[in-house]
Amino acid sequence: MFRLSALVLSAVLLGLSFSGSRAATCTRPSVRREWRKLSAPERAEWIAAINCLARLPHDDALTPIVDRSISNIPPVNTSGSYWDDIVYIHMDLNTRIHSTGFFFPFHRFYVHAVESAMTERCGYTGAFPYWDWSIDAHDVEHSPLFEDSNPISGLGGWGDPAKDIQVQTGGFRHLEVAYPVPHVLRRNFTLQPFLPFASVPVFTAPEQYANVSFTPERVRALVDWTPGDFVGFQFAMEFPELDSVIPADGMFPEVTIRDVMDTTGGYLCYVYE
Ligand SMILES: *[C@@H]1O[C@H](CO)[C@@H](O)[C@H](O)[C@H]1NC(C)=O
Ligand SMILES: *[C@@H]1O[C@H](CO)[C@@H](O)[C@H](O)[C@H]1NC(C)=O
Ligand SMILES: *[C@@H]1O[C@H](CO)[C@@H](O)[C@H](O)[C@H]1NC(C)=O
């Protein structure tokens, strides 16, 4: 389990996306910055663009490909928003894109797709930001990211347990989502995220605290397998098949893993600051 968690984090830390076409070259990569390095207007613009996607209608192009007896999720709600569709494809593809060679490539592709939608449909002008979780790893619950209650530029705090753990502050306090059931954005914090899955055999220590098993040092040790060589890192971790087509459920143009192995290769064009 630690391995999967570490991979999720590594994806956040290392490599996720900007726009461009497959044949394009990347001469001026966009620069992804840590959330705290964004100005208040830049944060506000990102939040506004996400809220904008959540006001756009469902996209009929959405075509789930995993049988629901396997994905085990509710059907698509066509009264939901474009943002719900984006969330849905990640849930639909859950079994294909986690613990497989699609793990890094899919998530890099996915963030790129979301960023492109924000740009093309909502006029977003920035690059996608990231969260350097290691700064807050000693106490994620009290991370400044979740203590910024500014109604326009803040991410807001944890949900109110007395109000269905719906988020009460920040720029997402009115974010309505239709999946899996209609609700206002909920957020709950726990250091034991796998406790509810105690009966699933793959979770060998479900009661373990995340701040014990999942530390910056553990992640650093993984990343240091192949210092300075992200492509090598992906092969060491996931054995990606370069010609495999990344599934996108009809929502986004399909590309291969090869197309997203390099974040400045042309299809993708960004760096992390
Ligand atoms: C589908 O979404 C709409 C809009 O949020 C909501 O009113 C409706 O109850 C949802 N239907 C189901 C079955 O959840
Ligand atoms: C929120 O998380 C806490 C553990 O931190 C848990 O006790 C509680 O049941 C959770 N609330 C909901 C509604 O899931
Ligand atoms: C994990 O977090 C809990 C609650 O904040 C804290 O009491 C504990 O000392 C932390 N453990 C580590 C190893 O950081």
Rounded-to-integer distance, Cα 87 and Cα 117, Å: 13
Residue 65 burial (CB count, 10 A): 13
Ligand 3 geometric centre to CA of 211 (Å):
6
Ligand 3 geometric centre to CA of 148 (Å):
22
pLDDT of residue 5: 37
| Encoded tokens for 215 | 């530390």
Report the domain count for the chain: 1
Q: Are 268 and 113 in contact (CB under 8 A)?
A: no
Q: Lowest mean pLDDT: which of 12-16, 59-63, 154-158, 231-235? A: 12-16
pLDDT of residue 19: 41
**Which ligand sits nearest to residue 190's alpha carbon?**
2
According to DSSP H, which parts of the chain are helical?
2-14, 40-53, 68-71, 82-92, 94-97, 103-122, 210-213, 216-223, 230-238
Residue 69's CATH number: 1.10.1280.10
| Encoded tokens for 131 | 């969260």
User: 191 CB less than 6 Å from ligand 3?
Assistant: yes
pLDDT band at 131 (very low <50, low <70, confident <90, very high): very high
The string of pLDDT tens digits covering residues 240-251 is 899 999 999 999
User: 188 CB less than 6 Å from ligand 2?
Assistant: yes
The string of pLDDT tens digits covering residues 48-73 is 999 999 999 999 999 999 999 999 99
Q: Are 132 and 63 in contact (CB under 8 A)?
A: no
Q: List, in sequence order, every residue forming a beta bridge with 271; answer none if it has no partner.
A: 31
Q: Which domain holds residue 104?
A: 2-272
pLDDT exceeds cutoff 80 at 3: no
